[in-house]
Chains A and B, each alone.
Chain A
Amino acid sequence: MMSPVYGLIYILLAPIAGGLVAGIDRKITARMQGRVGPPLLQPFYDVGKLFEKENLVVTRSQDLYALCYLVFMLVAGALFFAGGDLLLVIFAFTLSHIFLVLGAYASSSPYSFIGAERELIQIIAYEPMIILSAVGMYMVTASFFVSDIVVSSIPIVLYLPGVFIGFLMVLTIKLRKSPFDLSTSHHAHQEIVKGVTTEFTGPNLGKIEIAHWYEYVFLLGFIFLFFAFSLPIALLAIVVAYFLEILIDNTFSRVKWQFTLKSAWIIAGMLGLINLAVLYYLSGGLQA
């Protein structure tokens, strides 16, 4: 059963959780780089300040696209936490990213234009793997609905180890971590001009940051699904996975888009598909 209450809780609490995750991320990253790092709540201070700034735009329509990005990210996440259809969640998630891309295109600025193209390449790099993850979960639990998957007592990750590794790989792309932070990076050592978000300032950039927080929580929730059979293991898995992402972020430098696309597809194709094929074979072709 879908429960809108959880969706509502997500809408209210996800920015807080997401902001904290971002704060912890920055703290750990700083320690890895031998710095003290900002206070835990720094992301909130940053975004708060963004909303006090003047709204500079190249074209007015940027406001619309930034808002749509945030709104549809909310829709996708809320649908996920309310227990909706996983494929619909993924499509809504893509829709929201298209708005970010459109916002970058709208300004017709060279930097954000390149950022937009790269964001699109990232989308086509990660989307197949995410869809295959959903398909894998369907093959294990016989349902696309998050509400069914989450109450399943089957240890999904044991059936989908390849898919899970593939998912972690595209998670690096999704969280905009090195080496796949092509369209925009959190780190100044990767790029000084911020790719897809170059032309967003002030409140618009604030909206995009908040959307990212929502996105974090949604993606971590997706990891949760793999381990939904046991709450402690799931939480541990999320912590370990996220720590791993931070570690990867700080040990690799950015690669070219060709490598990103090819490696993401090859991993999705090899690990994901072979995993699913084995599962398919073992379950006797799923002929109901």
Chain B
Amino acid sequence: MIELAFLILFPAIVAFLLLAFKNGQVRNVVVKIAAGLIGLATIILLITYFSSGLVLFSVHLETAAEIMFVISLLIAGFILYLGIKQRKYLAVILVTIQTLMFIGIEGWLAKDVQQVSNLFIDQFSLIMAAIVGIIGTLICVYALAYMETYHAHHPEIPDRQNVFFFMVFVFLAAMFGLIFSNNLLWVYFFWEITTLASFILIGYSKTAESTNNAFLALEMNLLGGIAFAGAIIYLLIADPTGSFLGIEQLLSSGQALALVPAVLISFAGITKAALMPFSSWLVGAMVAPTPVSALLHSSTMVKAGVYIIVRFAPVLSGTTEGLIIGLVGGFTFLLGSAIAISQSNAKKVLAYSTIANLGLIVACAGVGTYKLVWAAILLIIFHAIAKSLLFLCVGTVEHQIGSRNIEDMSGLIVRMPKVAVMMLVGIAGMFLAPFGMLISKWVAIEAFIEAQFGLIFVAILAFGGSITVFFWSKWMGKIISVDPHVTREADTLKSEKRIVLYILAGLTVLICLIFPLISSSLIEPFVLSVYGQTARLSQDNIIIMAMMLFLLMIMPFSMLLPRNGARKVPPYMGGRPASSDMKFLGSMGVTRDVTLSNYYLNDLFGESRLLMAGTALGFGLILLAMIVLVGMIL
């Protein structure tokens, strides 16, 4: 219990400390100590509740509810003020609606609410806590070094690092709150805080573009928030004493009652997880400093969206609404992956890949059989680690070479070998056997075959999975292509960055070795407790994959073997006289540079066209779900 309270309150307290102290050195120390303590507390939490299963805590705190109410109103007022100031009237309207709903809930509906168990913890919360507490804090430490360089590179942006770190730690606190809350009112409160935190962090640089994108994120998430509030209202009308406000109580109350709120909350999850048609906010969010992207994409925000949908997977399972939500996820996976092919901006590729993978997680959760929930949780874990690593690598490279374009990363293996290798590990982690994401896709295929209408999803995975091979491989190819005229760049990597990157790269590999352990000790008991049966990977396959991983790791050592004189020659230039620095004699005696650039297949996988398709499909499906839902309520 004390660990839970600590993890929610401590980051919040640290956040205010960081807001108060503008001194960089103080910040450095505070962030590192806080990150260490949060990481430590997470590990203690893991050890304490490792085998205890579901534990509910009835925190009797009238004051907590009141404090939350006041904070919510303050946030609403703040957003209203900014919205009016920036003339973002859509945001103003949405926040007004939501505030009215919220006041309605607190003022009238929730008056008779009896005591609900406010906090809980089970294996799934533990996994999420580990992701937030370990990856989230690592990103914070990385951000220290990053933000310093960021402001050195962008003197025009006002230095508001105290606000930045304030928001980051508030974000962490809200994430812990969200995953430990059983009371949906509490979940909703923390949910709204993550919306606010992402809004401020995306708009950090205060340029016109970042302000616009921040408001875009805000509007889409507020829309989700309204659905969330709708779910709470529905539940309070169903029972004014609030006996269904607890997630656990709601899940065990049966589909008849839980389906409507589950779909509404899943809609909120879809907006937060940036599935199509709401994917544009996450793509727009890349204007923020890279640690923010890493945070949003891996351990917070979008993971909150999929967390809540996976929570409600047992309710969605086997229903038309669940299938539709699954389809939204499935098409997002397919189209998101396809769009990534046409992108050369590394952060955009990562953004679309995140969108795609979140889509896959939601597809698993929407169809919601026990095997699929197991696969979804695996996906959440693997994705968080590999994606945070990739974002931080891109951020590091960007500061060094001044570009986040993949074409400019040509020969990175020579220029920045260490970062390049870590980037390769991250990319391999995203799509290659025997690494994490591929394992999850594989088990998802096996699980979908047995699900109802699973064939659609199997097809989506077969096509979408191979599409991902294309854009990751060509990125890898750019990194490892050894351009003779590039040279190694001076190693200016700060130690904080380096350590964080090493840890994440190590985790990406390590998790592939120990995931059977995580699966058997956390995921399987969770799935078992919810569904009464559980899935696992066969022993043979685990051993084979461990052997493959081992083989993959020892292969580079073959480079050390003595060999009988491999002679270096310049690449073949079609018989043209070429110089060693990749110039060749063109026609009319002109000397030309060789430039190589990847295929982007814009005709087939162009962003605008596919995005339009995705938006249409997403909206159509969600509309369909809403119609079915309205039919059910009436």
Q: Contact residues of A with B, CB < 8 Å? A: 2, 54-61, 63-64, 67-68, 71-72, 75, 79, 84-85, 87-88, 91-92, 94-95, 98, 101-102, 104-113, 116-117, 120-121, 123-124, 127-128, 131-132, 135, 138-139, 144, 193, 198-199, 258, 261, 265, 268-269, 273, 276-277, 280, 285-288
Query: Closest A-chain residue to B467, C-beta based?
Result: A124
**B510 is an interface residue with CB less than 8 A from chain A:** no
Query: Closest B-chain residue to A64, C-beta based?
Result: B559
- B residues near A109, Cβ cutoff 8 Å: 571-573
Pick from A2, A63, A112, A139: contact of B449, CB below 8 A: A139
- Interchain CA distance A144-B407 in the complex, whole Å: 40
CB within 8 Å for A116 and B563 given contacts A87-B446, A108-B596, A123-B469: no
Are A117 and B598 interface neighbours, CB within 8 A?
Answer: yes
- B residues near A258, Cβ cutoff 8 Å: 603-604
- Interchain CA distance A105-B596 in the complex, whole Å: 10
- Minimum Cβ distance to chain B for residue A105 (Å): 3
Q: How many residues of B contact A (CB 8 A)?
A: 64
Pick from A56, A63, A88, A106: contact of B480, CB below 8 A: A106
- Interchain CA distance A57-B566 in the complex, whole Å: 6
CB within 8 Å for A261 and B604 given contacts A60-B566, A63-B566, A135-B449: yes
- B residues near A63, Cβ cutoff 8 Å: 558-559, 563, 566
**B438 is an interface residue with CB less than 8 A from chain A:** yes
Are B473 and A98 interface neighbours, CB within 8 A?
Answer: yes
- A residues near B559, Cβ cutoff 8 Å: 60-61, 63-64
**Residues 460-487 of B contacting A (Cβ, < 8 Å):** 461-463, 465-467, 469-470, 473-474, 476-478, 480-484
**B569 is an interface residue with CB less than 8 A from chain A:** yes
- Minimum Cβ distance to chain A for residue B174 (Å): 38
Pick from A55, A71, A121: contact of B551, CB below 8 A: A71
20 chain-A/chain-B pairs, Cβ below 8 angstroms: A55-B567, A63-B566, A64-B559, A67-B555, A87-B442, A88-B442, A91-B438, A101-B473, A104-B477, A105-B481, A108-B410, A110-B574, A110-B594, A117-B474, A128-B466, A132-B459, A132-B462, A285-B452, A287-B450, A287-B452
- A residues near B570, Cβ cutoff 8 Å: 58
Are B445 and A91 interface neighbours, CB within 8 A?
Answer: no
- Interchain CA distance A106-B482 in the complex, whole Å: 5
CB within 8 Å for A61 and B433 given contacts A84-B544, A108-B411, A121-B599: no
- Minimum Cβ distance to chain A for residue B411 (Å): 7
Are B556 and A75 interface neighbours, CB within 8 A?
Answer: no
Are A58 and B571 interface neighbours, CB within 8 A?
Answer: yes
Pick from A91, A120, A280: contact of B442, CB below 8 A: A91
- A residues near B587, Cβ cutoff 8 Å: none
- A residues near B458, Cβ cutoff 8 Å: 132, 135, 276
CB within 8 Å for A131 and B481 given contacts A108-B411, A124-B470: no
Enumerate the 8 nearest inter-chain pairs by beta-carbon distance, A residue then B residue, closest first. A109-B571, A105-B477, A127-B466, A91-B433, A59-B482, A108-B481, A131-B462, A128-B462
Q: Contact residues of B with A, CB < 8 Å? A: 410-411, 413, 432-434, 438, 442, 445-446, 449-450, 452, 455, 458-459, 461-463, 465-467, 469-470, 473-474, 476-478, 480-484, 538, 540-541, 544-545, 548, 551, 555-556, 558-559, 563-574, 582, 594, 596, 598-599, 603-604
- A residues near B551, Cβ cutoff 8 Å: 71-72, 75
- A residues near B473, Cβ cutoff 8 Å: 98, 101-102, 120, 123
Are B442 and A113 interface neighbours, CB within 8 A?
Answer: no
- B residues near A285, Cβ cutoff 8 Å: 452
Are A113 and B469 interface neighbours, CB within 8 A?
Answer: no
- Minimum Cβ distance to chain B for residue A134 (Å): 9
- B residues near A106, Cβ cutoff 8 Å: 480-482
- B residues near A54, Cβ cutoff 8 Å: 565, 567
- Minimum Cβ distance to chain A for residue B340 (Å): 12
Are B459 and A107 interface neighbours, CB within 8 A?
Answer: no
Are A112 and B545 interface neighbours, CB within 8 A?
Answer: no
- Interchain CA distance A121-B410 in the complex, whole Å: 20
- Interchain CA distance A102-B552 in the complex, whole Å: 14
